Amino acid sequence: MSICMAASPALSQSFDGNVEFGPRPYYLIDRMSEGPLKDKLLSCGGQEASTSLFSIGHRGAPMQFPEHTVESNRAAARMGAGILECDVTFTKDLELVCRHAQNDLHTTTNILTTPLAESCITSFSPAEGETPAGAECRTSEITLDQFRTLTPKMDAANSAATTVEAYLQGTADWRTDLYSAEPATLMTHAESIALFKSLGAKFTPELKTPSVEMPFNGFSQQNFAQKLVDEYKTAGIPAADVWLQSFNIDDVLYWIEAEPEFGAQAVYLMDEYDIDGYSPMDPETWPNSMEDLKSMGVNYIAPPMWMLVTASAEGEIVPSELSHQAKAAGLNIITWTIERSGPLVSGGGWYYQSIANLTTGDGVMYEFIDTLAQDVGVVGIFSDWPATVTYYANCMGLK
């Protein structure tokens, strides 16, 4: 697929608009059980690759690239992610930057080895006995200029470390530090907009829950939510190209009321799993029904993948009650996150918990994706390695 580029020479050299799958989709297909789905996916080998809005880059392509960096998002675009994500928080001088959390600098950057370590809310403490090593460093404690001096790295920490240098290690053995050997490039939210536009992608920023008490330096939660929208307006991005996200339903309702064009595609990220007794199979445990959310003006929900499926008595992956009721209420569903669990031979962990008994190897991944797409009816899937979802979307004709 050829995408018209209006980028700097560096951007143009890094991404020419041609989408590539790489070997991973074929690796996963080879490990599937024999059957019609495997046959269909195999039949698509050799097809021309193209971008799909069904494929969403989760912080870029952080299975191997430092998240929320220019390099991670270029990689995601090359793998055909039609929508890219910037998780948005703010600095001490109230500038919006791309970070998964306001308080993750100690695991996603080199801040602990720099003079800015003095700004950390909690200084590094080494592991001792059964007490793990730890620290906490926030973007809200440094200015944008100071933020720009940091070097991003793979999000990881060694909880058994007794030195800062050792603490900054800890990358999972199924990820890699190969693409962190030379400094990657941090981004402000405004810079992410310019980059994603140049890559031919659309936008799904997530307003992160602040670690600080709001209002902060006179900056209220509504100011935060509004500033996010304003940066798209300033950049001339149409509302139809933006899917705002938040775990805070009040943020979503604010956008619906204050910015209805953007609010029409605002995504409520569902974290009801944190509620004691919650079950996606039991509506009596839900704080809001799907009809309630729709009546509030919510058009998009985004639960984690496991909330959308269950294992049938026949040993198949099937939609959960939540999925059925969301579809009945007319809600669009986006879900997260494929390729975030490492090898699936031991059940898949948190993202596969509702089908752990069926998750016996990597071949299950495309069965899962197929159920989400065909039976649940999701309109997009976040992935830490977008080529996996892009391949499926291309094969099944999902634009």
Q: How many CB atoms lie within 10 A of CB 313?
A: 6
199 touches 3 (CB < 8 A):
yes
Residues of the chain with CATH 3.20.20.190: 9-86+187-396
Q: How many CB atoms lie within 10 A of CB 216?
A: 18
Residue 12 confidence (pLDDT): 37
**CA Rg value for the chain:** 21
pLDDT band (50, 70, 90) for residue 5:
very low
What mean pLDDT do residues 178-187 have? 92
Residue 16 confidence (pLDDT): 81
Distance CA 344, CA 365 (A): 8
Distance CA 253, CA 299 (A): 11
Query: CA 56, 61, 64: angle at the middle one, nearest 5?
Result: 155
Closest CA to 199 of 85, 83, 77: 77
Contacts of 167 (CB under 8 A, 6+ apart): 112, 124, 126, 133, 135, 157, 158, 161
Which residues does residue 382 pair with via DSSP β-bridges, in sequence order?
56
Phi–psi pair at 385, nearest 5 degrees: -145, 85
Distance CA 102, CA 126 (A): 22
Question: For residue 395, is it left (φ>0), alpha (ψ between -120 and 50) or beta?
Answer: alpha
Q: Is the pLDDT of residue 79 over 90?
A: yes
Residue 181 confidence (pLDDT): 83
What mean pLDDT do residues 150-159 have? 98
Tokens coding 101: 């959390």
Reported as type and span, the H/E element at residue 193 is: helix 189-198
pTM for this model (two decimals): 0.95
Q: How far is CA 69 from the centre of its chain?
A: 13
Q: Is the pLDDT of residue 6 over 50?
A: no
Say whether domain 9-86+187-396 belongs to CATH 3.20.20.190: yes
User: For 263-316, what is each residue's pLDDT tens digit?
Assistant: 999 999 999 999 999 999 999 999 999 999 999 999 999 999 999 999 999 999
Residue 258 confidence (pLDDT): 98
Residue 14 confidence (pLDDT): 60
